[in-house]
Amino acid sequence: MKKIIYLLFVILLLTACGTSGGNDEEETSQGNQGTGEPIEEDTDMSEDQTSGNDTDQIIDQLEFNVAIEEEADLLRFKMELTNNSGSAVDLSFSSGQKYEITIQDPDTKQEVYRYSDGQMFTEAIENKTIEPNESLTWEQAWDYTQNGEKVEAKDYQATVQLIPMSINREEIDKSPFVEELTVEVANSDEQADKDN
């Protein structure tokens, strides 16, 4: 037992000695062809600012569209994110949930539908790549119900949002991919007439 404790102490001591910087001199970079001369830093823009600008430029090249198809017993949301740039774009999602859809009664401001309510999503980071001039698509349907009962026939406010956590490995604070739409829930008789 004493040998094991002694051995652990020696390993701990060697590990602690190996992590010391031990050099108080100014560090130089080997990036200048190994000459040891320090590399001049550009002080005009910080790295965070330039990567933020790059991310903004990439976002400007991504086009998010939502189309709605009304059917007798459901409303179908078709979402599409198109890469209009000349290079591939990587999106990372924090879980299996790629988007959120909420529907709100404009009169009462009460939410009547939220896609994620009652759903279970994988708890793993998921990555998707959009090649230049290509698109990713998603589709989701709502059956016009709230708590199992059909909602009142009238117009509702829908918010459809794509929710990536990062674009090209740069975290984003707020999703720039949001569409707000007015959706009509018709009476069953009116919808039957529309379908005919």
Q: Which residues contact 152 (CB under 8 A, 6 or more apart)?
A: 105, 185
Parse the chain into domains and list their residue ranges.
48-195
pLDDT of 48: 43
Whole-number pLDDT of residue 168: 94
Q: How far is CA 33 from CA 23, 29, 89, 133, 147, in A?
A: 22, 9, 33, 39, 68
Sign of CA dihedral 164, 162, 53, 33: positive
Q: Does domain 48-195 have CATH number 1.20.1260.10?
A: no
Strands (E) across the chain are located at 62-70, 75-83, 89-93, 99-104, 111-114, 126-130, 135-142, 145-146, 149-150, 154-162, 166-167, 170-171, 178-185
Q: What is the pLDDT along the chain (196 residues), one digit of tens a residue?
A: 666 666 566 565 555 555 544 444 444 444 445 555 555 544 444 444 444 568 889 999 999 999 999 988 899 999 999 999 999 999 999 999 999 999 999 999 999 999 999 999 999 999 999 999 999 999 999 999 999 999 999 999 999 999 999 999 999 988 899 999 999 998 765 544 554 4
pLDDT of residue 42: 47
Which residues does residue 103 pair with via DSSP β-bridges, in sequence order?
113, 158
Measure CA 80 to chain center. 14
d(CA 136, CA 81): 5
pLDDT of residue 46: 43
Q: What pTM does this model have?
A: 0.69
Nearest to 89 by CA among 119, 63, 121, 118: 63
Using only the alpha carbons of the chain, give its radius of gyration: 27
Torsion 186-189-193-195 (CA) sign = positive
Q: How many helices (H) and strands (E) does the chain have?
A: 3, 13
